[in-house]
Structure formats: C-alpha cells, structure tokens
Amino acid sequence: MRSINPYTQELIAEYEEHRLEEVQLFITKADRAQHLWANNPLSERVSYMRALALTLRSQKAELARLMTSEMGKPISESLAEVEKCAWLAEYLSEESHLGLDSRDVITEARHSYVTYEALGLILAVMPWNFPLWQVLQLSLPAIVAGNGILLKHASNVWGTALSIEKLFIQAGFPDHLFTTLLLTSKSIEPVVAHPAVRAVSLTGSESAGKSIAATAGRHLKKAVLELGGSDAFLVLPDAELQEAAVTAMQSRMLNSGQVCISAKRFLIHEDIFDDFVDAQIDLLSQLSIGDPMLPTTHIGPLARPELLLQLEAQLQASLQMGATCIYGGKRFNSHPQILEPSLLIDIQPDMPVWSEETFGPVMPLMRFKTLEEGIRLANDSRFGLGASIWTGDLELAKAILPKIEAGSVFVNSMVKSDPRLPFGGIKHSGFGRELSVEGIKEFVNIKTNWIN
C-alpha cells in the first residue's frame, strides 16, 4: 500500500498489509492484554490518561506534520487536532467515574446495584479526515472502561495509525492493549467474526456503515456507526449577520471542507440573503490556498484524487440543474487535488450539492421565507448529525431546538465535538454515541447485581 502526499504528489512510504495469520496472533495478544487491563481499578486506568496527554503534547509537532503530509490538512489544524486529543485524555482522567461508578438501586434485595464492565476487544474502523482525533475519540473512552482496541485505519494514513500505537506504548499502557492492524476493507470480516472481538465502531460513509452493520449483525456483535452528515445552518433575519457569516465559512472550510459535522446546507432568510452572500464572498476571498505545511494556509488539497473527482461531479451536476456558482468552482492553479472554495446560489433540494453529502469546500446557499419553511428544509435530509441555528431571540431558539432532527443542535455557534458532550447522529448519520458519559458507557456490559 502506497502513501502519497496529496499536495506534493510524492511517495511518503509503502506498507504491506498484515497477513491473516499475523492478525490472528495480534488478536490473541490483544485479548490477553485486555483481560489484564480490565482487572485494574478505574483509579489506575485513568492515571494512564494523564500520561497519554503529556505524551501527545511532547510530540505535537511531529504528529501534526505526519498527518498533514499523509492527508493534506493545513498544519495549523493538525496541531489543533493533537491538542484536542490531549484535552480528551485529561477530561477522561478526571471525569471517567461519572460513567463507570456502580449505582445502587433500592429494591427488596439486601443489596442491588448496577455495574459497568468492559466488553472486551473493540474493532475501530476509522477514517482519514481526522486521523488522530477520530481514533482517540472512540478509543480513549473505551479503554478507560477496560476495553482493548484493534484499529483498522484508512490506508492513506497508515503512518499515523502506527504512530498512535507507539503513543500508547510510550505513555506506559500495556503492550498490545491498542493494536494497529494494517488491513483493507475486504479483510475486515474475519476480525469481526473472531470470538475475542465483542463490538465494532465505524466512522465513514453510508455504504461502509451498511456493510459493517451487516457484518456485525451476522456475528451478533454490537456496532456503533457515525456516517457523516449534511448539517443545516439556519440563519434567521434577526441573527448577528457578520458573526453568522464568519462561522458559516469556518465550519464549511475547516479541513478543506472534509468534515463530517461541518455545515453543508446553508438556509438564509430572504430578508438578509443578499447581505449574507456579499459577506461570504468577502470572507472567501481572504482565504489562503496552497501548501498545507505553511501555517498561513487555510485551504489545502483533498486527501485523494478520486475525492476531488467525485466532488466536481456533484458540482457540475448541480450547475446543469440550474445552480449558479458565484465564487470559485474550479481547481486552484490546476492542482490535481485542490478545489477553490466555491459558493453556489439558486439551489433546489434535489441538487447533489444539497441532497448528498459533499466532502470539500463547496458552499450551497438557499433562501427561505418563513420559520416553518426553514425548519422543514433543515429536516429534509436523510442525514441527522448536527445543525446550527442563528437568531437573536434565544427563547425562539429554545422552541426550535426540539423540532430539529439531529444528534446535536448548536445555537449561535458552530457544531463541534467536545469531550464533555455526547457525539453521534440519527437517521443515515448512524447510531450510538462517543465522548462524555454516554460514550464511556457505549462499550460496557451494564450488569444487574442482586444480593440476598
């Protein structure tokens, strides 16, 4: 497997996929390590989280450069990703007891209580767009609960995958508790089928989620899926327009537009639509495009050539259906993997840039007239990961919140993941939760204990 720098197009490294017999040996060692780990008290397990936070920060520059070279995100965002992972480890070192302490229940028994015990080995099938955060977002809550992790990472970030395994060793975790498996998608089923593997979590596309869910179902294994989204960004006429415009641009252009929870469908009230468009053009014109290793770069390459081809196909199909591109819309300096930030108006709900998830710097804007129409259009999607509402009337915002079909709704703020809050979606965005108390409990046996 070849790792190619998406900006320079240079070969970074070549890797050999693990053979089946190697994988079986890795699983055996991981299973042994997990059983020993689960027997440690929670107070000991959380101490390793503090060590991991220190290890992450000590290697922040090296990890950031590796991620940027492998998948092309701007280096400033790679540095921030490492820092966020350290924050998660620190949060778990302080708050894990909230999800794992036993709970007494008053019954007619002498003593009845509920405990939260590790399941075993969890297979993590992870994407390339946040190659460190996505892995640790899933893995750290599961590990602090007593589980072990088998990582099957995206093949274009195998260098980062191997580095994550080294991080755990350097932080003092037991050998093999976190194990990277260099596998392609076609080799996943034997891992899911292994009796030591108790659950699987995937972050990726709808098609990948359906495949993993079917495989897990055949083998009666729990699955957690985060399958992306097409988040609505709903701007009411009384919103603070400039702040909304800036946040809209930041949400859509983060990671060169390759973010599951970024805003992708922008619903702007007709009274402020033209002003919002003008503000957006001004903001987009200030973005620096090019070498992601430069700290001043905002937009870099998409991670793989086929991703740009897919995005261009969605863009061109929408233009043919009547959309108008009023900014950008072409490759930057003819680079094979960089698309200019692109702003589209005259959008209809059946256009690909609206009805499908777009992974890249494409920003479609649609007008709406009434609040009821805005809410209906926001929910008119098969996805349900997040949504953002912008208004100066907070009481109105509170009334809108239960009407929005999404796993997260943020008022006057960008949708984001936060260690303190559960993260996940509904509808075709998947099921299950990561982070916070709910994420800590996602891969545990919730056990009833009754003593007479």
Among the options 165, 260, 340, 434, which is catalytic? 260
Instruction: Evaluate whether 138 touches 203 at the Cβ level (below 8 Å).
Output: yes
Query: Is residue 212 within a helix (H) or strand (E), and if so which, with residue range?
Result: helix 206-218
Q: Are 267 and 378 in contact (CB under 8 A)?
A: yes
Nearest to 33 by CA among 143, 136, 141: 143
Please state, in angstroms and rounded to a whole number, the distance separating the CA atoms of residues 139 and 122. 8
Break the chain down into helix, strand, coil percent, rounded to 5.
45, 20, 35
Spell out the residues 6+ positions from residue 282 whose beta carbon is closer than 8 angstroms to its own.
none
> Amino acid identity, residue 51?
A
Give the contacts of 310 (CB within 8 A, at least 6 positions apart): 359
Query: What are the residue ranges of helices labelled H in 401-441?
Result: 436-440
Phi first, then psi, for residue 237 (nearest 5°) are -65, -20
Q: Exactly one of 77, 226, 405, 442 is catalytic; name it.
A: 226
> 262 phi and psi, to 5 degrees?
-75, 155
The residue written with tokens 């989280």 in the block is 49
d(CA 191, CA 77): 33
Q: Tell me whether residue 325 is one of the annotated catalytic residues.
A: no
Q: Take residue 55 and report the two structure tokens written for it.
A: 């290890």
Write out the two tokens for 340.
Answer: 């200019």
Strand 386-390 versus strand 408-411 pairing type: parallel
DSSP character string of 238-299 = TS-HHHHHHHHHHHHHGGGG--TTSEEEEEEETTTHHHHHHHHHHHHTT--BS-TTSTT--B
Q: What is the C-alpha end-to-end distance of the chain, expressed in Å?
A: 59
Which amino acid, one-letter code, is at 40?
A: N
Read off the amino acid at residue 147: N
Burial class of 331 by CB neighbour count within 10 A (0 to 12, 13 to 18, 19+):
middle
Q: Which residues are catalytic?
A: 226, 260
